[in-house]
C-alpha cells in the first residue's frame, strides 16, 4: 500500500502487531503513523470514506459478475467503549448497506450454546462480493471465556490453534480477513461510561456489567496479549489500534479496509453485451 496524505508510515504497517507488541505498554492516546491532528483526520475520513465506497462497489460488482469467491471480513474486538459501534457507523457507514453483511456477537443464546463456538460465526460469514463486519467475534471465546473461566482451560487452550486453522480456511476460500484490536485506556473508558450516565440518549448503551468488567482489566490485558501472540498469522495478522482518539481509530480502520480491497486488485466487470449496439438500440427506442 502507498502512503496517503497525512501518513508518515502506511496505516497498515503502523498498526500491524509485532512480536514486541505489549498490550500493557500501548499508548492508547497515540496516532501511530499519522502526522496530522483531528481536523486533518476528520477531513481525510470523509475523503477516504468515498474511496472505500468505490472499492466496495467494485467488490460487489465483481460478486455479481463472477463465481470466484471474494469477500472481506472486518473483525472488531475491543473492550466496552473502545468504539466498535462508532467504526460501524462512521467507517462502514460510508458504503452501500446492501454490500455489507454485519453481525454482532453477544452472550451465546441457549441454541448457540448447544453448538460448537464457531457455529454461529460460520453462519454469519460474508457472502460472495460482500464486506463482512463482526462486532465482537470468535475471539470472545478466548477473551471473556478465558477471563471468567466460562469453560475449563483444557477447552479454551486449543482454540487458538483452531481459530488459526479456521481463518486459514477462510483466506484460502477467497475471504480477506482484517483483524482490528481496539484499545482504550482505563481512564478514557471511565470518561465514556460516565458520559453514558449523564445523557438520557446514552442510557441505552450503559450496562452495569461494564463497570464490573473494569475490575478484571489486568486479566483482560493478559487475555488480549495471548490473543495477539497466538493468533496473529501471516494469513490474518492483527492490527492494534489506539482508540482514545475516535477520529484516529476510524481513519485507521478506513485505511485498513482500503488496503485490503486494493490488494484484491479488482476491475469493473466487462460488459456482457455489445456497448455500441446497445447505445443504438437505446437511442432508437
d(CA 225, CA 228): 5
Question: Which is nearer to ligand ADP, 107 or 191 (by Cβ)?
Answer: 107
- Residue 76 sits in the site that holds ligand ADP (CB under 6 A): no
Binding letters toward ligand ADP, positions 202-221, x by CB under 6 A: -----x--------------
Question: Which is nearer to ligand ADP, 147 or 258 (by Cβ)?
Answer: 147
- Residue 80 sits in the site that holds ligand ADP (CB under 6 A): yes
Among 13, 108, 151, 220, binds ligand ADP (CB under 6 A): 108
- Would you say 159 and 230 are in contact if contact means Cβ atoms under 8 Å apart? no
**Short-list 140, 65, 133, 149, CA closest to 107:** 140
Among 107, 165, 191, 194, binds ligand ADP (CB under 6 A): 107
3-state secondary structure of 41: helix
Q: Please, what is the minimum distance in Å from the beta carbon of residue 265 to ligand ADP? A: 34
- Residue 106 sits in the site that holds ligand ADP (CB under 6 A): yes
> CA separation (Å) from 228 to 16, 21, 179?
11, 8, 10
Q: Please, what is the minimum distance in Å from the beta carbon of residue 140 to ligand ADP? A: 3
Residues comprising the chain, all counted: 285
- For the chain, what is the radius of gyration of the CA atoms? 20
Question: Which is nearer to ligand ADP, 85 or 269 (by Cβ)?
Answer: 85
Total residues binding ligand ADP (CB under 6 A): 12
Helices within 110-232 (DSSP H only): 110-113, 119-123, 144-147, 153-156, 159-172, 186-198, 208-214, 217-231
- Residue 93 sits in the site that holds ligand ADP (CB under 6 A): no
Q: Please, what is the minimum distance in Å from the beta carbon of residue 38 to ligand ADP? A: 25
Concatenated DSSP letters of 217-237: HHHHHHHHHHHHHHH--SSS-
Residues that bind ligand ADP (CB under 6 A): 80, 105-108, 136, 140-141, 144-145, 150, 207
Amino acid at each position: 500500500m502507498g502512503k496517503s496524505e497525512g501518513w508518515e508510515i502506511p496505516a497498515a504497517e503502523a498498526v500491524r502487531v509485532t512480536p514486541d507488541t505489549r498490550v500493557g505498554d500501548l499508548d492508547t492516546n497515540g496516532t501511530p503513523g499519522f502526522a496530522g491532528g483531528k481536523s486533518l483526520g476528520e477531513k481525510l475520513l470523509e475523503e477516504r470514506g468515498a474511496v472505500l465506497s468505490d472499492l466496495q462497489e467494485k467488490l460487489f460488482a465483481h460478486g455479481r459478475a463472477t463465481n470466484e469467491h471474494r469477500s472481506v471480513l472486518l473483525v472488531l474486538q475491543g473492550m466496552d467503549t473502545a468504539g466498535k459501534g462508532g467504526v460501524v457507523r462512521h467507517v462502514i457507514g460510508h458504503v452501500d448497506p446492501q454490500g455489507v453483511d454485519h453481525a454482532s456477537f453477544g452472550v451465546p443464546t441457549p441454541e448457540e450454546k448447544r453448538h460448537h463456538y464457531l457455529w454461529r460465526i460460520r453462519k454469519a460469514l460474508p457472502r460472495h462480493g460482500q464486506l463482512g463486519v463482526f462486532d465482537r467475534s470468535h475471539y470472545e471465546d478466548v477473551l471473556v471465556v478465558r477471563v471468567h473461566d466460562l469453560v475449563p482451560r483444557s477447552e479454551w487452550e486449543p482454540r487458538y490453534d483452531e481459530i488459526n486453522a479456521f481463518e486459514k480456511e477462510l483466506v484460502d476460500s477467497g475471504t480477506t480477513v482484517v483483524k482490528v484490536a481496539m484499545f482504550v485506556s482505563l481512564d478514557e473508558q471511565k470518561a465514556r461510561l460516565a458520559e453514558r450516565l449523564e445523557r438520557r440518549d446514552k442510557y441505552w448503551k450503559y450496562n452495569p456489567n461494564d463497570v464490573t468488567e473494569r475490575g478484571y482489566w489486568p486479566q483482560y490485558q493478559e487475555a488480549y496479549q495471548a490473543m495477539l501472540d497466538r493468533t496473529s498469522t501471516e494469513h490474518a495478522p492483527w492490527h492494534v489500534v489506539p482508540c482514545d482518539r475516535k477520529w484516529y481509530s476510524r481513519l485507521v480502520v478506513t485505511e485498513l479496509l482500503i488496503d485490503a480491497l486494493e490488494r484484491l486488485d479488482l476491475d469493473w466487470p466487462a460488459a456482457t453485451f455489445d456497448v455500441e449496439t446497445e447505445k443504438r438500440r437505446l437511442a432508437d427506442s
